[in-house]
């Protein structure tokens, strides 16, 4: 399976049309068609459902699309790292990042590094911790910034001197908005929207056995869409303070949990990881500040 053919396959998947894909790839349509046919023969699976005007992925084709995107992203990242070996003043750093105001301290570090090495590019991938860890394990990220405890068997880490406070985000016309803080009993019959990550980490510690009695109507990875659910009256979100605007002119408000629940923040990287020169520069700066 050649990387070139995987790029051809992805272009057809994106365009949904053999003719348009061939034009974008600057090759003839018969050549492109032959390459895809040979790929299907090699895999022993049909990748596209063909019609006169379109090409749609089969289930096997959707699986290959996911794998091909990961393979080519890793390939491009590796090539970029080797190109940067002789050019320490530039290069790419890939960072998985949880939603948190605490990343301000991290941004201050890369801003300082940017003054010395303006040609370094930073690629941020916002996601929950589980997704960031998966990309880190696959070698698609250099670092991840997470807001849960570190798996010490797999990762090295530095702790960022910041933490996030959990609370309830709700409409200002909600009866619970009259409270100064939110206690466990306040949430028993409330339609809750919970972070999938937190349901396996922080929430069990705070709710205890009561967690099984909660009315969980939805779960989320990133907070913005969950806040839209709140605005539409779908439920109440348990989330971090400061990530959704709850000022005086907002229709939403935030009330902290009592007893208080906070999440620490860490920068992690794989044990025994071999860094590119620019990623090593960043790690050195991080250790100076947070080490």
* Mean pLDDT value across residues 168-184: 95
Q: What is the per-residue pLDDT for 87?
A: 58
Provide the percentage of residues in the chain whose pLDDT is more than 70: 97
Segment among 23-37, 76-90, 138-152, 181-195 with least mean pLDDT: 76-90
Q: What is the per-residue pLDDT for 193?
A: 95
Segment among 58-67, 193-202, 265-274 with least mean pLDDT: 193-202
pLDDT (tens digit, 9 = 90+) per residue, 34-92? 988 888 889 898 988 888 778 889 999 899 998 888 888 888 878 776 766 555 667 88
Work out the pLDDT band at 230, boundaries 50, 70, 90. very high
- Quickly list DSSP for the chain: --HHHHHHHHHHHHHS-HHHHHHHHTS-HHHHHHHHHHHHHHHTS--EEE-SS-EEE-HHHHHHHHHHHHHHHHHHHHHHHHHGGG-TTEEEEEEEE-S-TTHHHHHHHHHHHHHH-TEEEEEEEE--HHHHHHHHHTTS-SEEEESS---TTTEEEEEEEEEEEEEEEEETTSGGGG-SSB-GGGGTTSEEEEEHHHHHTHHHHHHGGGGGG-EEEEEESSHHHHHHHHHTTS-EEEEETTSS--STTSSEEEEEBSS--EEEEEEEEETT----HHHHHHHHHHHHHH-
């Amino acid at each position: 399976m050649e990387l070139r053919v995987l790029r051809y396959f992805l272009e057809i998947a994106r365009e949904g049309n053999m003719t348009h894909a061939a034009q974008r790839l600057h090759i003839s349509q018969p050549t492109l068609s032959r390459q895809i046919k040979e790929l299907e023969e090699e895999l022993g699976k049909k990748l596209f459902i063909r019609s006169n005007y379109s090409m749609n992925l089969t289930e096997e084709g959707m699986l290959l699309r996911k794998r091909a995107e990961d393979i080519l992203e890793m390939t491009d990242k590796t090539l970029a790292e080797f190109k940067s070996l002789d050019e320490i003043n530039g290069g790419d750093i890939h960072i998985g990042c949880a939603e948190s105001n605490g990343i301000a301290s991290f941004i201050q570090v890369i801003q300082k590094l940017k003054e010395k090495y303006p040609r370094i590019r930073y690629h941020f991938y916002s996601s929950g911790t589980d997704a960031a860890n998966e990309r880190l394990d696959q070698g698609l990220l250099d670092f991840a910034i997470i807001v849960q405890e570190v798996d010490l068997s797999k990762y090295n880490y530095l702790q960022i001197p910041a933490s996030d406070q959990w609370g309830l985000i709700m409409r200002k016309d909600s009866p619970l908005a009259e409270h100064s803080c939110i206690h466990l009993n306040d949430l028993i019959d409330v339609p809750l929207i919970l972070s999938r990550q937190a349901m396996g980490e922080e929430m069990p510690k705070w709710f205890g056995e009561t967690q099984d009695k909660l009315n969980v109507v939805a779960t989320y990875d990133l907070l913005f869409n969950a806040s839209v659910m709140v605005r539409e009256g779908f439920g109440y979100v348990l989330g971090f303070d400061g990530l959704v605007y709850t000022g005086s002119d907002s229709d939403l408000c935030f009330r902290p949990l009592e007893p208080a629940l906070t999440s620490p923040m860490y920068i992690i990287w794989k044990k025994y990881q071999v860094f590119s020169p620019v990623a090593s520069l960043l790690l050195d700066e991080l250790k100076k500040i947070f080490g």
